Amino acid sequence: MNGGRLFVLGALMLLPLAGGASAQQFDYGRYEALFGEPVTVSATGKPERISDTPVIMDVIGADDIARSGARDIPTLLRRLSGIDVAHSSSGTAETSIRGYQQPLGSRVMVLLNGRQVYFDGFGEDFWATLPVELEEIRQIEVIKGSQSALYGFNAVDGVINIVTFDPVDDKVNMARARIGNHSRRDLAASVTQSLGEGAGIRITAADDHAHDFGIINRTSDNMAFAKNPNRKSVSADAGFTLPEGGGRIDAEAAHTDVTMRWIALYPFFDTRIKTDSIKAGYTVETPAGQVNATAYYTAIDMPWVQSQTYGTFDITDRIAVAQVSDLFKWGADDSFRVGAEGRRSEMAAGGLTGGGSLTGNQTAGSLMWEHSFSPAVSAVNAVRYDYFQLERSGPSPLADPYSNSDYDRSIGGVSVNSALITKVSDLDSLRLSFARGLKLPSLSDFGQVQTYVRRYGGFTYYGSPYLDVASVYDYQFGWERKLPVIDATMNANVFHEMTMKHISSPYGMVNGVLSFTSGMATGSVANGLELSLNHKTRTGWNWGGNYTYERLHEHFDWGYRNAQPTNKLNAHLGYAWDVWESDLYATYVSPTKGIVITPGLRPKASIVTIKDYKILSPRVAWHANEFVTVEAVAENLWPYQDSAPQRMETSYYLSVKVTY
Amino acid sequence: MIRAGLVGTVLLACLIYPGACFATSLKDLQIAVRIVGFLSKPPPVGSPLAVFFDSHSKDSRDDAQNIMALLSGDADSAKTPLMPILVDLHNLEEAQGARVGLIALSSEAGYPAILEFAKKNAVLMISTDPACVRAGICTAAVVSAPRVEVILSRRVSEISDVHFIEAFRMMVTEY
């Protein structure tokens, strides 16, 4: 440690900001080749091997994706233990980690190469708007449990970080065409081009189309709304290594244009979502450690939202984020990461916010300390302070009980993570962790002002600027054991999570009554067990499975317990030989309950049982030569229903992919 | 029965020819070559990679030849952008210009000379014997089984002015 490091440490601590983890600037490929296993920076903010991280996480690698037969990321995620997926339409899915499935105010932070794709306006992860094709993905990192101390507000149940291949070192050159029933017609292509020594760019474009299906909510004239899930995406990802240790610059730009039907509880929305994003990062080795500065800007435009409940309106959302961090090792056993982050999120919606704009300005400072007690025992501690300022500008509707000055509020909070790993033998590792996370209400929770159409009561719904953050306490224990005899790895995790308060959303059911306002009330406790056993190879037999048991206890009936399956089972069996691969994925999910809302001047809500269901998805792939692969997939052989308003029907498709 | 016989034969061979059982493996070498890329100032492409051996030890000579064969550039080799050269520990002048050295096994007699050479010429000294790092002679040791491990000596790193990038240091064991 030298004076330079102390200076940087001190200077960053003085900043009123502090930051989250970025991913793409880390050379995943070279480290993975060296250590022979996946590596990550997402788990604690410092680079580490998956087998060394004290955090309980799953990694879906590129080989897993290639053998999955999946078309989208939620399909991959639902095959992990502890992950629940419920479709809100044929083309959209809500994903949760260890319960708390809900269409608004998601508790999972989704990142693409460290860039937040979580939509602050609603607190929603719109998967279809992600500008990434599965072939570009190096790994999907799923970190379970509260991660606010690293990622800030809203990462209270976990983080899903999608890491793509490096455009400098990894060549992704492919073209793919897919056809199937429901008029499916998907096209995608990706080209990687070297831009000289240490520099490269990857450009990817995709156009997906299918006909909507499976809608159960057929109330009145609503079918006229139904939109097909179409998606257009183009993205560019570039890296430039500067000579003589000058560091590396990363740049990304993307545009997606999506139409979809989306359901918040039971009523549905049809919408078009246009997303534009740009990101730049710079990483350099200095005497003070590895310094990274990243900035990104995301513009989300919904030029029209046709809603059953609200009529038609539009939304714009702008998110600008700047982050800086310094990562350094002090002595032989201690690593530190000091971070600062500034964020501005602005949502304007003619109809949704009564003609005004809501702005959230957030600053944060964070510190991570990892100590290695011995090669077999290490612990990480992280703390982050977030400070959020809310503002409202523009006209207020006459009926709004709040004036713009009511929105001049600030909220602060401290998040904490502590985790420990001990390798009790060459085969066994134990992980223990505690975390305190913070959930910030979405901008629409704070300031949504909308009047329901007459068929849905004609009430005016108000958010509340006086909402507060909700704290979540998370305790986990994990045991990992390698089984060399069968070349497999077994994991057993137990967790206990306490949510101190919940934030109600419009058309939520609270204690059996339909909620028409934002508010906060008593919390809940979730307890669960996850077991998994996996054997992965590129040739021969490939198999695995996992089981999740979870119970939720609510102090108030928020509907989370109803939406939570108690038992979930996944299994996979595959075999690869010569130029052929065959795989079979099976899922069982126990019954849940959902809400059905009947329109009327006094809308009625009732609870319906969603029966248990089984998903069976086989695939066969034939590698015609080193360039061409033909794949046939049945996405689910039996139709099933994983939410009240949507039925998932069998999808068959055939794809041809050329890689070069 | 057959398996037990094979194990017995191997053990007997090890007793008669110890060098045959303690040779640097291909995987060890692949790791050793890869860690060079994580130096804060990697050596230029084509610069010498010195394979140090003790000419007074048959085991050391044999392992050095084994290392050279594995670095030869065949499909199954440990590929390196550096130029491997054999250097006798009793004639270290031959290693002038090298910024990376691989130490053959059974070269313990030459450790003091290796350390002096590394200090004087800022050479990254890599061994497959962790004891070399613990003894404060080598900068780095690599182990490929049962798990890949890289062990660094902070003291040797400092005195020989050989430094790895921060992210790499966080993923290895340091003494």
pLDDT tens for each residue of A558-588: 778 888 999 999 999 999 999 999 999 999 9
User: Which residues in A have their CB inside 8 Å of a CB on B?
Assistant: 26-27, 30-31, 33-37, 39, 46-49, 51-52, 245, 285, 289-290, 327-329, 331-333, 335, 370, 372, 375, 426
The candidate with the shortest Cα–Cα distance to A509, out of A457, A562, A472, is: A562
Tell me the DSSP string of B57-116.
-HHHHHHHHHHHHHTS--TTS---SSEEEEEETT-GGGGTT-SEEEEPTT-GGGHHHHHH
> Would you call B171 and A52 a contact, using CB atoms and an 8 Å cutoff?
yes
Burial class of residue A566, CB neighbours in 10 A (0-12, 13-18, 19+)? middle
Q: What residue of B is the nearest CA neighbor of A375?
A: B173
The candidate with the shortest Cα–Cα distance to A381, out of A369, A367, A365, is: A369
State the fold for domain B22-174: Rossmann fold (3.40.50)
The candidate with the shortest Cα–Cα distance to A22, out of A282, A376, A344, is: A282
Helix A28-35 with B26-35: angle, nearest 10 deg: 150
Side-chain-facing half-sphere of B158: CA atoms under 13 Å = 9
Share of chain A above pLDDT 70, in %: 92
The candidate with the shortest Cα–Cα distance to A642, out of A46, A36, A93, is: A93
Q: Is the pLDDT of residue A169 over 50?
A: yes
Per-residue confidence (pLDDT) for residue A361, from 0 to 100: 96
Per-residue confidence (pLDDT) for residue A231, from 0 to 100: 96
Q: Centre a 10 Å sphere on the Cβ of residue A511 and count the other Cβ atoms it contains.
A: 11
Per-residue pLDDT tens over the stretch A581-637? 999 999 999 999 988 888 777 777 888 899 999 999 999 999 999 999 999 999 999
Can you tell me whether residue A423 is helix, strand or coil?
Answer: coil
Which DSSP letter does residue A430 get?
E
Interval A123-133 mean pLDDT: 91
Most confident of A120-124, A477-481, B25-29: A477-481
Interatomic CA distance for residues A246 and B169, integer angstroms: 19
Task: Yes or no: say if A507 and A265 are a contact pair by the CB < 8 Å rule.
Answer: yes
Per-residue pLDDT tens over the stretch A382-424? 999 999 999 999 887 766 788 899 999 999 999 999 999 999 9
Q: What mean pLDDT is reported for chain A?
A: 89
Task: Yes or no: say if A574 and A584 are a contact pair by the CB < 8 Å rule.
Answer: yes
Contacts of A33 in chain B (CB under 8 A): 34
- How far, in Å, are A183, A219, A252, A254, B173 from residue A297 at the CA level? 35, 39, 11, 11, 38
Confidence tier at A118 by pLDDT (50, 70, 90):
confident
Per-residue confidence (pLDDT) for residue A281, from 0 to 100: 95
Give the bridge partners for A19, in sequence order. Answer: none
Tell me the DSSP string of A432-492.
EEEEEEEEPPPHHHHH-EEE--GGGT-PEEE--TT---EEEEEEEEEEEEEETTTTEEEEE
Confidence tier at A432 by pLDDT (50, 70, 90):
very high
Q: Is the peptide bond before B146 cis (omega within 30 degrees of 0)?
A: yes
Distance from CA of A41 to the nearest CA of B (A): 10
Q: Is the pLDDT of residue B20 over 90?
A: no
Per-residue confidence (pLDDT) for residue A363, from 0 to 100: 97
Confidence tier at A545 by pLDDT (50, 70, 90):
very high
> Would you call A34 and B169 a contact, using CB atoms and an 8 Å cutoff?
no
In CATH, what number is assigned to the domain containing residue A520? 2.40.170.20
Confidence tier at A507 by pLDDT (50, 70, 90):
low
> Would you call B171 and A33 a contact, using CB atoms and an 8 Å cutoff?
no
Nearest to B170 among A37, A51, A335 (CB): A335
B 66-95 residues with CB < 8 A to A: none
Most confident of A32-41, A94-103, A105-114, A305-314: A32-41
> Would you call B170 and A51 a contact, using CB atoms and an 8 Å cutoff?
no
Distance from CA of B76 to the nearest CA of A (A): 15
Q: Maximum CA pair distance of chain B?
A: 55
Per-residue confidence (pLDDT) for residue B17, from 0 to 100: 44
Nearest to B165 among A33, A39, A285 (CB): A285
Range of the domain at A272: 3-659
> Would you call B166 and A375 a contact, using CB atoms and an 8 Å cutoff?
no
Per-residue pLDDT tens over the stretch A305-357? 888 777 888 889 999 999 999 999 999 999 999 999 999 999 986 677 778 89
Per-residue pLDDT tens over the stretch B65-85? 999 988 876 655 667 788 899
Q: Is the pLDDT of residue A245 over 60?
A: yes
Q: Is the pLDDT of residue A12 over 70?
A: no
Task: Yes or no: say if A542 and A572 are a contact pair by the CB < 8 Å rule.
Answer: yes
Nearest to B166 among A36, A49, A329 (CB): A329
> Would you call A30 and B146 a contact, using CB atoms and an 8 Å cutoff?
no
> Would you call A332 and B31 a contact, using CB atoms and an 8 Å cutoff?
no
Distance from CA of A115 to the nearest CA of B (A): 21
> Would you call B170 and A47 a contact, using CB atoms and an 8 Å cutoff?
yes
Can you tell me whether residue B165 is helix, strand or coil?
Answer: coil
Q: Centre a 10 Å sphere on the Cβ of residue A486 and count the other Cβ atoms it contains.
A: 11
> Would you call B148 and A35 a contact, using CB atoms and an 8 Å cutoff?
yes
Per-residue confidence (pLDDT) for residue A5, from 0 to 100: 45
Interatomic CA distance for residues B152 and B169, integer angstroms: 8
Per-residue confidence (pLDDT) for residue A123, from 0 to 100: 81
**H helix or E strand, kind and range, residue A87:** strand A83-89
Q: What mean pLDDT is reported for chain B?
A: 84
> Would you call A290 and B167 a contact, using CB atoms and an 8 Å cutoff?
yes
Q: Is the pLDDT of residue B34 over 50?
A: yes
Q: What residue of B is the nearest CA neighbor of A37?
A: B148
C-alpha dihedral sign at B15, B17, B23, B26: negative
Interatomic CA distance for residues B139 and A495, integer angstroms: 42
- How far, in Å, are A340, A475, A570, B165, B169 from residue A8 at the CA level? 12, 33, 48, 18, 19
Contacts of A11 (CB under 8 A, 6+ apart): none
Distance from CA of A310 to the nearest CA of B (A): 51
Length of chain A equals 660
Side-chain-facing half-sphere of A21: CA atoms under 13 Å = 31
The candidate with the shortest Cα–Cα distance to A444, out of A340, A607, A279, A300, is: A300
Can you tell me whether residue A296 is helix, strand or coil?
Answer: strand
> Would you call B147 and A426 a contact, using CB atoms and an 8 Å cutoff?
yes
Tell me the DSSP string of B119-141.
HHHT-EEEES-HHHHHTT--SEE
The candidate with the shortest Cα–Cα distance to A384, out of A413, A344, A411, A345, is: A413
Higher pLDDT, A534 or B45: A534
> Would you call B166 and A245 a contact, using CB atoms and an 8 Å cutoff?
no
Q: What residue segments make up the domains of chain B, in order of their start?
A: 22-174
Contacts of B38 in chain A (CB under 8 A): 30, 34
Confidence tier at A20 by pLDDT (50, 70, 90):
very low
Per-residue confidence (pLDDT) for residue A1, from 0 to 100: 40
Confidence tier at A224 by pLDDT (50, 70, 90):
low
Distance from CA of A325 to the nearest CA of B (A): 13
Contacts of B148 in chain A (CB under 8 A): 34-37
Most confident of A95-99, A454-458, A508-512: A95-99
> Would you call B31 and A34 a contact, using CB atoms and an 8 Å cutoff?
yes
A75-91 burial: b if 16+ Cβ within 10 Å, else e? bbbbbbbbbbbbbbbbb
Confidence tier at A129 by pLDDT (50, 70, 90):
very high
Choose the mutation target among A24, A30, A31, A35 for the interface with B, i.e. most B CBs under 10 Å: A35
Our count of domains for chain A comes to 1
Q: By the CB < 8 Å criterion, does B171 face chain A?
A: yes
Interatomic CA distance for residues A621 and B73, integer angstroms: 35
Distance from CA of B37 to the nearest CA of A (A): 9
Q: Centre a 10 Å sphere on the Cβ of residue A627 and count the other Cβ atoms it contains.
A: 12
Terminal-residue alpha carbon distance, chain B: 44
Per-residue confidence (pLDDT) for residue A239, from 0 to 100: 95
Distance from CA of B90 to the nearest CA of A (A): 32
Interval A440-461 mean pLDDT: 82
The separation between CA A211 and the C-alpha centre of its own chain, rounded to angstroms, equals: 25
Interatomic CA distance for residues A457 and A461, integer angstroms: 11
The candidate with the shortest Cα–Cα distance to A376, out of A318, A420, A342, is: A420
Tell me the DSSP string of A577-620.
ETTEEEEEEEEEE--EEEEEEE-SSS-EEEEEEE--EEEEEEEE
Per-residue tokens: A61 = 């690698």
> Would you call B146 and A426 a contact, using CB atoms and an 8 Å cutoff?
yes
Q: Sort residue A445 into left (φ over 0), alpha (ψ -120 to 50) or beta.
A: alpha
The separation between CA B112 and the C-alpha centre of its own chain, rounded to angstroms, equals: 16
> Would you call A245 and B169 a contact, using CB atoms and an 8 Å cutoff?
no
Nearest to A285 among B31, B146, B166 (CB): B166
Per-residue confidence (pLDDT) for residue B81, from 0 to 100: 80
Helix B26-35 with B58-70: angle, nearest 10 deg: 70
Confidence tier at A269 by pLDDT (50, 70, 90):
confident
Q: Is the pLDDT of residue B15 over 80?
A: no
Task: Yes or no: say if A97 and A56 are a contact pair by the CB < 8 Å rule.
Answer: no
Q: Centre a 10 Å sphere on the Cβ of residue A224 and count the other Cβ atoms it contains.
A: 8
The candidate with the shortest Cα–Cα distance to A266, out of A644, A9, A570, is: A644
Nearest to B166 among A48, A52, A289 (CB): A289
* Range name among A31-40, A112-121, A133-142, A621-630 with the lowest pLDDT average: A112-121
